[in-house]
Homo-oligomer: A and B are copies of this chain.
Amino acid sequence: MTVKRNTWQREAVRDALDSNEGFVSAQGLHSSLRSAGSPIGLATVYRALADLAVEGEADSLQSPEGENLYRACTPGQHHHHLICRNCGLTVEIEADAVERWAQATASEHGFTQANHVVDVFGLCAACTLLAGD
């Protein structure tokens, strides 16, 4: 039985995530930490983020460019995101209806172990005004 240890590195990653508004890439988070004086290693940041995502302390999603982005979230909740494609502002949205729909659709076609990708990208109110001119 493996025992998980607490290290300052994990804490640093957790803190950095918490103090961030939107989604961040592992590399971005790493360079923030480094430029803040932390000697933390890149591999460690990747590992910490992956762990946090598994434990449900962080949400992760793929950017359209293929990067994995992470964001702190309240544990234990499954939710989706409404993301401003201009400024990155993110709103957590609950979607029980979509949840049920995904499950139902999957089993309707004989699929099992279904998970789903549901994210909405748009322009937030502020960016809509700016872009509106």
Chain B residues in 8 Å Cβ range of A109:
82, 91, 93, 124-125
* Residues 93 to 129 of chain A near chain B (Cβ within 8 Å): 93, 95, 97-98, 101-102, 105-106, 109-125, 128
Count copies of this chain in the complex: 2
The contact size tier of chain A is 20 to 34
Task: Give bound CA distance, A73 to B11, whole Å.
Answer: 47
Chain B residues in 8 Å Cβ range of A20:
none
Chain B residues in 8 Å Cβ range of A105:
82, 93, 95, 120
Q: A106-B122, A109-B82 are in contact. Are A117 and B115 (CB under 8 A)?
A: no
Chain B residues in 8 Å Cβ range of A120:
102, 105-106, 111, 114-117
Task: Give bound CA distance, A5 to B5, whole Å.
Answer: 61
Whole-angstrom distance between the Cβ of A1 and the nearest chain B Cβ? 26
List residues of A whose CB falls within 8 A of some B CB: 62, 64, 66, 68, 82, 84, 91, 93, 95, 97-98, 101-102, 105-106, 109-125, 128
- A-B CB contact pairs (8 Å), 17 listed: A64-B117, A82-B106, A82-B111, A82-B114, A84-B111, A91-B109, A102-B120, A111-B122, A111-B123, A113-B122, A115-B120, A115-B122, A116-B118, A116-B119, A117-B118, A117-B119, A117-B121
